[in-house]
A and B are shown apart, each in its own frame.
Chain A
Amino acid sequence: MNFKIILITVITVIFSANVSGQTKYEKEYRIKEKDAPDKAVSFIKKSFTKCKWYSEESSDGKTFEAKGKLNGYKFSIEFDTTGNVIDAEKTVKFENMNSEIKQNINKSLLKIFASYKIKKTQIQWIACDNTLHELISYGHSKKPYTLNYELVLKAKKDSTTKFYEVLSDKNGNILKVSEIISRPTDNLDF
């Protein structure tokens, strides 16, 4: 009897919570290559032999993302719905970066955070398609392009430790800091 009452109560609350819950719409899912824009697929095939494709839908619109590996580095290339490249990102190790840039980034971060630990570093390139191909293949190009650094940090600010995503320009000046909202961990903790 106890079990029945609890089960009915739980089901009722689960569904009422779902109806009343106002959540920000965001959905990321794996797609097949044939479902990505043709222009994006052609771009990827010039540099990569194998890629995983994803689509992300949110209230801001829909984007496509290809994730692949080249020369031992992980790459992530984001496209709009027509297949135009938005940006390309290459995951690198912070300690392997140019020491002057590392110093500048560290200086900028210490102005914002009491302490921090860099968890992930990505080089972000924004450029035309041909330049991006050169950057992806060789890591440099003589043509004009925008280079930023995207960092994921575990950092302490106002005595609270949180995760942040930080965007800096090529000189290490901070352009944007956003807090990463972590998903609840109750189902792994209890």
Chain B
Amino acid sequence: MRLTIFFFLIITAISNINAQNKTSAGVLPKTVISVKLPKNLKLVNIIELREVFFEKTDGSDVEFNYNHKLTDISALISLKRTPYKSFALGYRMRAEGNNLSHQIIQQFSVVQNLNASRVGHRLSADQTFKSDIISYRFRYRLSFEKPLNGNKIDPNEFYIKAGTEYLMKLSDNITSSEIRAVSLLGYEIEDSNKIEIGLDYRISNFLNKISDNAIWLNIGWYFKI
């Protein structure tokens, strides 16, 4: 929890450096359904939506402005080298308004088991093909998960998850970056079925005069078949 507060303080401080901010708020529902395949492989299907409800630019009032911003549909093949190390390759289709873009994803993740918690590291890269432009993103995500009671998360038990992610994007020779921080309350229905809900704060273009801030209600459902 202290870690989450620390991350929030850092990104809030960064967002305050800028003279002008653009802020949006909404809901970020995500479903992750994985299907076990032979030889330590699994197919991971992800659907993620971005629904914006409020928007505000500094100096203006908060406006209710519902906008279905985008839909991401991804399919990844993940190979577990050990129970806690995996490589994944995949494809993501992003529908944003009338535009459609295609992404190729590569990621490597490691989970560390500590005494009463787990720490996840994810290194990921993707290439987006949109019209004639190819954009490249590199990202690192650090996640921390801890049961609210006891040393391990059992079925029908709540847990907390906090994390931060750093993204760098290169598109048409322009570099931009984004920082994300999440603080979630999770509930494990059973080992292969869990839901998480909480806040997801994102700040991008924080080195420019106008930064983009987004506060999402992050709702995730993870189900393993």
The chain A residues found within 8 Å of chain B, CB to CB, are 2-3, 6-7, 10, 13-14, 17-18, 21, 23, 25-30, 54, 154, 160-163, 182-190
Contacts and interface: CB of A to CB of B under 8 A. Distances in A.
B59 interface: no
Interface stretch (B8-16, B169-177, B190-198): B190-198
B130 interface: no
A18 B189 contact: yes
Contacts of A18: 189-190, 193
Contacts of B154: 26-29
A2 B223 contact: no
B95 to A, nearest CB: 10
B145 A21 contact: no
Contact of B83 (A3, A25, A182): A182
Instruction: Among B51, B190, B224, find the residue whose CB has the most chain A CB atoms closer than 10 A.
Output: B190
Interface residues on chain B, size class: 35 or more
A7 B220 CA distance: 11
A27 B47 CA distance: 32
Given A3-B29, A185-B111, A17 B150 contact: no
B82 A189 contact: no
Interface string B73-94: 0001010011110101000000
A183 to B, nearest CB: 6
A186 B155 contact: no
Given A18-B189, A25-B155, A188-B143, 14 more contacts: A6-B31, A6-B49, A14-B189, A23-B155, A27-B156, A28-B154, A30-B151, A54-B150, A184-B192, A185-B83, A186-B44, A187-B196, A187-B222, A188-B109
Nearest to B155: A23
Contacts of A189: 78, 86, 88, 107, 109, 111, 120, 122
A186 B190 CA distance: 13
Contacts of B155: 23, 25-27
Contacts of A10: 29, 31, 221
Contact of B51 (A3, A27, A54, A188): A3
B149 A186 contact: no
Contact of A187 (B83, B157, B189, B194): B194
Instruction: Among A23, A29, A190, find the residue whose CB has the most chain B CB atoms closer than 10 A.
Output: A190
Nearest to B189: A18
A110 to B, nearest CB: 19
A154 B47 CA distance: 34
Contact of B86 (A14, A183, A185): A185
A47 to B, nearest CB: 21
Contact of A184 (B47, B221, B222): B222
A2 B49 contact: yes
28 contacts: A2-B68, A2-B71, A3-B49, A3-B68, A10-B31, A10-B221, A14-B221, A17-B223, A18-B189, A28-B150, A29-B149, A29-B150, A30-B151, A161-B81, A162-B82, A183-B118, A183-B152, A184-B192, A184-B224, A186-B44, A186-B222, A187-B161, A187-B186, A188-B118, A188-B120, A188-B143, A188-B145, A189-B86
